[in-house]
Copies of this chain bind each other. A is one copy, B any other.
């Protein structure tokens, strides 16, 4: 019964991807905590975690390639494996962005804390929620849930643009906190990018479940 064996392998591939997703999700949360709590130990943890993420990414990719080469899957199974490869890439980039936040957190450790007009905690929670929801949509093959992730992306774009404008004012008016303000700008951008990757994941879930490429629909409609 080779097909039963094949579907067991697909389940195994999904499990590997979920383990990868857990690492990426953890990276975001720890990086944001490191930034907010000014915690050097957590910065180091996020750096170490990046190596684990890169290894997990390789592992998922190799299994996906093997299945494509040996099983020559068709239709929904093919779409699933292609989605896994893409989602895997987005999860790895979420790890990169988390690493970048940890580097910014390390840089501000050596200067005093500054009150800044940006809610990094809220942006972090929003980005995390988007990843969690996208992963849940993957687990449950739920295209509607995946669509709700796409809708959440506008909010964090808005938060990021507001932070950019408000933090420039801080730089101009309180140059002694420029370092803190700059790192807040970059961290807000990183979180906005993380949310973009969560959106990509949600779109790949929709592609898998519905078989339609939903990316750039707005661009198409223009």
Contact = CB atoms under 8 A, between A and B. Distances in A.
A219 B50 CA distance: 9
Count of identical protomers in the assembly: 2
The DSSP consensus for interface residues of chain A is helix
Given A61-B213, A219-B54, A172 B179 contact: yes
A18 interface: no
A168 B182 contact: yes
A213 B58 contact: yes
Given A55-B216, A86-B89, A220-B55, A179 B168 contact: yes
A82 B65 contact: yes
A6 to B, nearest CB: 14
Interface of A: 50-51, 54-55, 57-58, 61-62, 65, 68-69, 72, 74-75, 78-79, 82, 85-86, 89, 168, 171-173, 175-176, 178-179, 182, 185-186, 189, 213, 215-216, 219-220, 222
The 7 closest A-B pairs by CB, nearest first: A171-B178, A175-B175, A54-B216, A72-B72, A54-B219, A51-B219, A172-B178
